[in-house]
Chain A
Amino acid sequence: MKTTDNSGDVRLSGISKTYGSFTAVHPLDLTVPQGSFFALLGASGCGKTTTLRMIAGLEEPTSGTVHLGDQDVTALPPYKRPVNTVFQSYALFPHLDIFENVAFGLRRRGIKSVKKQVEEMLELVQLGEQARKKPHQLSGGQQQRVAVARALINHPKVLLLDEPLGALDLKLRRQMQLELKRIQTEVGITFVHVTHDQEEAMTMADTVAVMNAGRVEQLGSPADLYENPQTTFVANFLGTSNLIETEVDTKSGDDIVLKAGGGKLLLPSERCAAPATAGGRVLIGVRPEKISITHADDAGTITEGRNRITGKIADASFIGVSTQYVIDTPVCDEFAVYAQNVERDGRLVPGADVVLHWNPAHTFGLDAAQDIDAGIEEEAV
Chain B
Amino acid sequence: MATLTEAPPPLTPTAAETKPPRRRGRLTPYLLLLPGLLWLFVFFALPMIYQASTSVQTGSLEEGYKVTWHFATYWNALSEYWPQFLRSLAYAASATVLCLLLGYPLAYLIAFRAGRWKNLVMILVIAPFFTSFLIRTLAWKTILADGGPVVGALNSLHVLDVTSWLGWTSGDRVLATPLAVVCGLTYNFLPFMILPLYTSLERIDGRLHEAAGDLYAKPWTTFRKVTFPLSMPGVVSGTLLTFIPASGDYVNAELLGSTDTRMIGNVIQTQFLRILDYPTAAALSFILMAGILIMVTVYIRRSGTEDLV
Contacts and interface: CB of A to CB of B under 8 A. Distances in A.
Contact of B218 (A79, A93, A94): A79
A167 to B, nearest CB: 13
Contact of B215 (A89, A94, A154): A154
B210 A87 contact: yes
B226 A79 contact: no
Interface of B is mostly: helix
Interface in A5-44: none
Contacts of A85: 210-211, 214
Given A108-B221, A109-B216, A87 B211 contact: yes
Given A87-B207, A89-B207, A91-B207, A56 B230 contact: no
B214 A94 contact: no
Interface string B204-225: 0101101111111110010001
Interface residues of B, number: 19
A223 interface: no
Contacts of B229: 95
A105 interface: yes
B217 A94 contact: no
Contact of A79 (B207, B214, B230, B307): B214
A73 to B, nearest CB: 13
Contacts of B211: 85, 87, 91-93
A105 B230 contact: no
Contact of A95 (B205, B217, B230): B230
B308 interface: yes
A87 B215 CA distance: 12
A145 interface: no
B62 to A, nearest CB: 62
- Of B207, B208, B215, B229, most buried by chain A (CB within 10 Å of CB) is B215
Contacts of A308: none
Contacts of B207: 87, 89, 91
B216 A154 contact: yes
A58 interface: yes
A95 B308 contact: yes
Contacts of A77: 213
Given A93-B226, A108-B221, A78 B205 contact: no
B204 to A, nearest CB: 9
B225 to A, nearest CB: 8
Contacts of A105: 215-216
Interface in A34-60: 56-58
A93 B208 contact: yes
A91 B205 contact: yes
Nearest to B217: A108
A248 B205 CA distance: 57
A93 B230 CA distance: 9
Interface in B159-218: 205, 207-208, 210-218
Contacts of A94: 208, 230
B208 A58 contact: no
A79 B308 contact: no
Contacts of A58: 210, 213-214
Nearest to B230: A95
A78 B214 contact: yes
Given A95-B230, A95-B308, A108-B221, A79 B213 contact: yes
Interface in A73-97: 77-80, 83-85, 87, 89, 91-95
Nearest to B210: A58
A326 to B, nearest CB: 27
A314 B177 CA distance: 92
Contact of B217 (A57, A79, A87, A89): A79
A306 to B, nearest CB: 40
Interface in A124-170: 134, 150-151, 154
A151 to B, nearest CB: 8
Contacts of A84: 214-215
Interface centre among B213, B217, B225, B307 (most CB of A within 10 A): B213
A93 B227 CA distance: 10
Contacts of B307: 134
A104 B210 CA distance: 13
A82 B212 CA distance: 14
A89 B205 CA distance: 11
Given A95-B229, A95-B308, A79 B216 contact: yes
B31 to A, nearest CB: 35
B205 to A, nearest CB: 7
Contacts of A83: 214
A227 B216 CA distance: 42
Nearest to B213: A78
Contacts of B225: 104
Contacts of A154: 215-216
A108 B225 CA distance: 10
A79 B229 CA distance: 20
B18 to A, nearest CB: 35
B215 A104 contact: yes
B215 A150 contact: yes
Contacts of B213: 57-58, 77-79
B136 to A, nearest CB: 37
Interface in B208-265: 208, 210-218, 221, 225-226, 229-230
A231 B142 CA distance: 76
Contact of A56 (B214, B218, B221, B226): B214
Contacts of B210: 58, 78, 85, 87, 91
Nearest to B208: A91
Nearest to A83: B214
Contacts of B217: 79, 104, 108
Interface of A: 56-58, 77-80, 83-85, 87, 89, 91-95, 104-105, 108-109, 134, 150-151, 154
5 contacts: A78-B213, A80-B216, A83-B214, A84-B215, A108-B215
Given A77-B213, A109-B216, 13 more contacts: A79-B213, A80-B216, A91-B208, A93-B208, A93-B212, A94-B230, A95-B229, A104-B215, A105-B215, A108-B215, A108-B216, A108-B221, A151-B214
Q: Closest 8 CB pairs between A and B?
A: A105-B215, A91-B211, A91-B207, A108-B216, A78-B213, A85-B214, A95-B229, A79-B216
